[in-house]
Structure 1
């Protein structure tokens, strides 16, 4: 089975994440998308994250009606901070019959060279890239790598940071969240302080 790993802190998961995940599930040559909830992205501050289990619960709520999209807590069991190369090694050992690929935005592809052992990732895994609006120059060399697949997915400019800030400011951002995620956030008063 060919699995696309879509890593994120999902703090919170929003409709943009689901649009990309569903597009990859339906239009790329992937059998399933695993939305890997990361406990700590080494490039982000950990202090702004909700609890791991709360973020995982939101991903469960958001994906329960999608047969090809599954939540994953695989990184919760690995050393912190999380490094993709370690996660991929662990998944290969745990699921030897699966082929794992990465899903990332074009903005992340531009910084792939900063990732731990990114050459190992590129050598052993396909990377599916969706478009993002960015002022950064594109990495033409990486984009033309045989393991990189640029997918003509919708451009979705919604960020979890925008959602958190909007909730804190008392704005109604309900349309940007899956209904059950909105209810969970509202019920628990997340992001209001």
Structure 2
């Protein structure tokens, strides 16, 4: 990729055409990285609808122990209630959206970036990697705890997969 960008420097259309040829020659689908997220979207919508509308899940706890933390999977996980209401967060402190934001931030940091782009594009990519977790944290703040739990756990699983893949690639490169 870097060789193509150096060879056809200044001709964006030629770089794009040669990159597509390279992808085709190696059997790589450029949209392959989007597939896991696209497959997750129907699950997210179905889980959201189920948690909001199913009467049997109302007040269903996550842990069945005294003093349990997540008391209701169909509503926000309220860790503490404040005396005063604040903009955006209201009068509740919900910890799961914050943990989900941290897990999403870790995933963004571990995701390899496409190097060789313009400095402006790289700066924009860094800003998006920082802003997306913050945006998702606020977006998910008042959503059901079950949805936050699902998204957080799937993100942690993705981070673990990325770590294992990186470890496997490093071991494989060391053997060659």
Q: TM-score, normalised by structure 2?
A: 0.24
Q: Which has the larger radius of gyration?
A: 2
Which structure features the higher share of strand residues?
A: 1
Q: TM-score, normalised by structure 1?
A: 0.23
Per chain length, whose mean CA-contact separation is higher, i.e. which structure has more relative contact order (CA < 8 Å, sep 6+)? 1
